[in-house]
Structure 1
Amino acid sequence: MSLRDIYESGFDDDDGKTINQTHCLECGGSLRTEGGETACTECGLIVADCRIDHGATPRTFEGEESKREQTGAPITPARHDRGLSSEIGRYRDANGNALSSKKRRQMSRFRREHGRARWSSKKKRNLATACLEIARLTSALELPYSVRERASQLYRDASSEDLIQGRSIEAIVAGCVYASCRCGGYTRTIEEIAGVANCGEEAMKNGYRVLNKELSLKALVPTPKTLLPRLIAEFDVPNDVQYRATELAEIATESGIANGCQPSGVAAACLYLASSEAERSIPQADIASVAGTSPVTLRKRYTALQDELDD
């Protein structure tokens, strides 16, 4: 289904938003723009992904000489050198002319010495390794670039606080990615991240605990409503069931049913109750397995929701 003609177009310099629409036309959920990508917070539908180039544009004013200088890529914590590295070419010079064989051998020696002098300390070499690993994890988990930048900054903060010493880089990196997801409101479980990380689940949990304690992370508390889109995507339920499950999640939060309970268990109960009301019942064991909870917990939250609706 093409969405190009049904949304009003526009642009906001502050967040890179390219449309004026505030609600998703598929499920009615709110839209969130991050890094130029606009997506629905409920169903995850990507409405617009046009990224604006904020690089400098050459301008000439009256009475001034024409200047064609261009700035490079923006500074980012996602790269070990913040994107300010220098690269030595191989076969052509700056004007595009081919290099002679003598000059190519000379450039090869320059590249070798440049590579040796790139790392002034072991800490910076470890930072480069960590940035590459963070990029791999966020790509494997299909997370946005903002999560990668936040995770890289968390690793830099941990390195400056000497939290890496005596610990595995892979464990701290996995903990940084999980912490970035928690702080940004992205629902990724420890099991999902540990499944693609180069460390065990216990090592990752230990890395996250250290970061949370020493850096005082402002992690967002997961709610049943934020966990629902993942469950809905797994079972491909119709729109009416999605709306009802979201409504039940809000009722569970407002009535206090979700207080002190595992959010995934409440979300699973909301989806099961919504599907049952629409006569599209999904097996409890299947929903509980995807949600990471037990069928017993699902039934308890299901009963509490039914009692609340009956009242």
Structure 2
Amino acid sequence: MADSYCPECKRPTEVVFDHSAGDTVCSECGLVLEAHNIDETSEWRTFANETGDNDPVRVGGPTNPLLTDGGLSTVISKPTGGGEYLSSSLGRWQNRGSNPDRSLIQAFKAIATMSDKLGLVATIKDRANEIYKKVEDQKPKPLKGRNQDAILAACIYIACRQEDKPRTVKEICLVANGASKKEIGRAKEFIVKQLEIEMGQSMEMGTIHAGDFLRRFCSHLCMTNQAVKAAQEAVHKSEELDIRRSPISIAAAVIYIITQLSDEKKFLKDISLATGVAEGTIRNSYKDIYPYASRIVPNWYAKDEDLRNLSNP
């Protein structure tokens, strides 16, 4: 129900929307104010046998602007009951037809699988699809003969960087179906070069900060909220210092310092597993950060005597 002006009643009245006919009708005099309106909202239906408390489901899937037909093509699946022969025959005939988006659909499915394993949001998934589509559309085909898994993993890595939600190459390696860190690195450089040629300018990748990885690493180590907050403050203050280490190594070293000052100490081996940083690299980063411990560790978290008890590298 809504209010609208009725010329018959000569005043604003409540109107009723008849979705089946597409009409807007005055609730008092019955005058049709608007006819044959198109309802552009989502269509929802319940396909279950029982109409009890079953949730309705959307009819059809969303369109994909990256595909030629918008992703609205028909797919013939195998039936659960009879008619297997007819369904399989129709499926074979459909597969014989030329589908220009077949390789793209397979690539998008692989990107979605990798992204789900990494727990990435839909915006990063969509950005990775766009990056792959841009490179795939270039002539001649630049991706032919290359490691497909490494290319897809590199697209996800670049998308994470551009959306300011970076992941380490080692994290992406875990879901890249066997693609090595070196292969993903080469694929990333190749994609960036191709896109820069297409755009005619340098490609913005976003700046990586130690804080981008910190909360995720702390979660892997099951650290307390106080320890996480202290580590975040310490990492933020460390950016003001001239510490020539990678952001991931700085994050790992700060976590090591914070955990050594808490009651629940973490072994160096556990921090290495959670962050993907080698134990030797964490030790060397700790040596560089140790002289500044009193400046970066919050006063509310550790006192001066606690800092003096830190092991001297």
Q: Does 1:137 align with 2:137?
A: no
Following the alignment from structure 1 to structure 2, what is the Cα–Cα distance between the partners of residues 252 and 153?
35
TM-score (norm 2): 0.65
Equivalent of 2:286, from 267, 283, 299? 299
Residues 227-264 of structure 1: per-residue CA shift (max 9 Å, x gap): 111221122111111111111111011x2334x42112
Q: 1:265 to 1:105 in 2, by over 3 A?
A: closer
1:105-152 Cα shifts (integer Å, max 9, x gaps): 7776554333322424xxx43223212211221122222222221111
Offset at 1:79?
6.4
Query: Match of 2:205, as an amino acid?
Result: A
Residue of structure 1 in register with 2:223 after alignment:
237
Taking structure 1 as reference, are residues 185 and 68 closer, same or farther at Cα in structure 2, changes over 3 Å only? closer
The answer for the alignment partner of 2:208 in structure 1 is: 222
Equivalence for 1:286: 270
Matches within 5 A, 1:86-165: 86-87=74-75, 109-120=89-100, 124-161=101-138, 162-165=141-144
1:268 — aligned with what? 252
Contact kept in structure 2, 1:284 and 1:298, CA below 8 Å: no
Q: Which has the larger Rg?
A: 2
Give the match's secondary structure for 2:144: coil
2-structure distance, mates of 1:275, 1:90 = 55
State the match for 1:65 in structure 2.
Answer: 36
Shift of residue 285, structure 1, vs aligned partner: 4.2
Give the direction of change, closer, same or farther, for the CA distance of 1:112–1:281 in structure 2 (3 Å limit): closer
Q: Kindly, what percent of the aligned residue pairs are identical? A: 23
Any stretches of 5+ residues in structure 2 without a counterpart?
1-18, 25-32, 44-58, 197-202, 297-303, 305-313
Shift of 1:159: 0.7
Which residue, out of 204, 211, 217, partners 2:191? Answer: 211
Name the amino acid aligned to 1:277.
L
In structure 1, how many angstroms separate the alpha carbons of the residues matched to 2:235 and 2:289?
Answer: 11
Q: 1:201 to 1:154 in 2, by over 3 A?
A: same
Q: Distance in 2 between matches of 1:289 and 1:257?
A: 27
In structure 2, what is the equivalent of residue 17 of structure 1? none
- Structure number with the higher strand fraction is 2
- 1:254-265 correspondence to structure 2 within 5 Å: 255-258=240-243, 260-265=244-249
Q: 1:80 to 1:257 in 2, by over 3 A?
A: farther
C-alpha separation in 1, matches of 2:208 and 2:39: 49
Equivalent position of 1:83 in the other structure: 71
Q: State the aligned residue count.
A: 241
Q: Distance in 1 between matches of 2:247 and 2:212?
A: 9
Q: C-alpha separation between the residues in 2 aligned to 1:280 and 1:306?
A: 19
Q: Which amino acid aligns with 2:286?
A: R
Q: Using a 3 Å threshold, how does the CA distance of structure 1 residues 81 and 261 change in structure 2: closer, same or farther?
A: farther
Residue identity in the other structure for 2:144: Q
Structure with larger RCO (C-alpha < 8 A, sep 6+):
1
Residue 164 of structure 1 aligns to a residue in which SS? coil
Distance 1:212 1:193, change over 3 A: same
In angstroms, what is the RMSD of aligned CA positions?
A: 3.3
1:266 aligned partner, one-letter code: I
Paired residues of 1:266 and 1:298 also in contact (CA < 8 A): yes
Q: Match of 2:34, SS?
A: coil
- In the alignment, the residues of structure 1 paired with residue 142 and residue 273 of structure 2 have an alpha-carbon distance, to the nearest angstrom, of 35
CA deviation after TM superposition for structure 1 residue 167, in Å: 1.4
- Superposed CA deviations along residues 72-103 of structure 1, whole A, max 9, x for unmatched, are 54333576854222245887xxxxxxx9x7xx
Give the distance between the partners of 1:109 and 1:204, measured in 2 at CA: 40
